[in-house]
């Protein structure tokens, strides 16, 4: 198996690609460049008769396309805005939503952007969040 045996179905993501395929006995690992943007990716298997089993039988039988697999799991691609808030951080999703809604640009709004999630929020900062969130004068 190699990269030609796979394609990606992308929605909202550009530049995604299958970069490599490696194996260890019967386990194959497919590495993917997730591209740019937010959206979804699905990995598809392409049957071009190059995938064969131990008995030299092609995937899906003889004939290209009869073993294609295009109904697998779809994965969310969500790039991080702030370098100090990884996707594993407990409040990552909420922080990203606040940023995308224009409520906050973090503590350092220039590249690389930082949110400083463990910093205390002042009353002035909270007042700005509320005014922005509720579109107050």
39 shares a domain with 16: yes
pLDDT of residue 63: 86
Let me know whether 15 and 72 are in one domain: yes
Question: Which residues have C-beta within 8 Å of that of residue 16, sequence separation ≥ 6?
Answer: 8, 10, 32, 33, 34, 35, 41, 77
Which pLDDT value is given to residue 113?
93
pLDDT at 131: 92
pLDDT on residue 82: 94
Q: Does one domain contain both 70 and 100? A: no
Task: Name the nearest CA neighbour of 75 among 38, 118, 105, 23.
Answer: 38
**Per-10-residue mean pLDDT for the chain, 137 residues long?**
94 95 90 91 93 89 88 88 92 91 91 94 93 89
9 and 46 fall within a common domain: yes
Do 71 and 100 lie in a common domain?
Answer: no
Q: Are strands 27-33 and 17-24 parallel, antiparallel or unpaired?
A: antiparallel
Phi–psi pair at 58, nearest 5 degrees: -70, 150
Its pTM stands at 0.62
Domain housing 124:
92-133
First to last CA, the chain: 61
Q: What is the pLDDT of residue 83?
A: 94
Task: Output the pLDDT for position 65.
Answer: 85
């Amino acid at each position: 198996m190699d990269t030609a045996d796979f394609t990606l179905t992308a929605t909202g993501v550009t530049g995604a690609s299958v970069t490599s395929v490696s194996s260890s006995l019967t386990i194959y690992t497919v590495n993917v460049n997730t591209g740019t943007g937010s959206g979804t990716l699905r990995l598809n298997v392409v049957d071009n008769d190059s995938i064969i089993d131990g008995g030299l039988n092609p995937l899906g039988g003889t004939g290209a396309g009869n073993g294609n697999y295009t109904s697998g799991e779809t994965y969310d691609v969500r790039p991080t805005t702030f370098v100090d808030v990884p996707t594993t951080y407990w409040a990552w999703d909420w922080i990203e939503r606040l940023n995308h809604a224009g409520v906050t640009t973090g503590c350092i709004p220039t590249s690389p952007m930082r949110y400083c999630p463990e910093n205390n929020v002042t009353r002035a900062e909270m007042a700005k969040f509320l005014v922005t969130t509720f579109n107050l004068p």
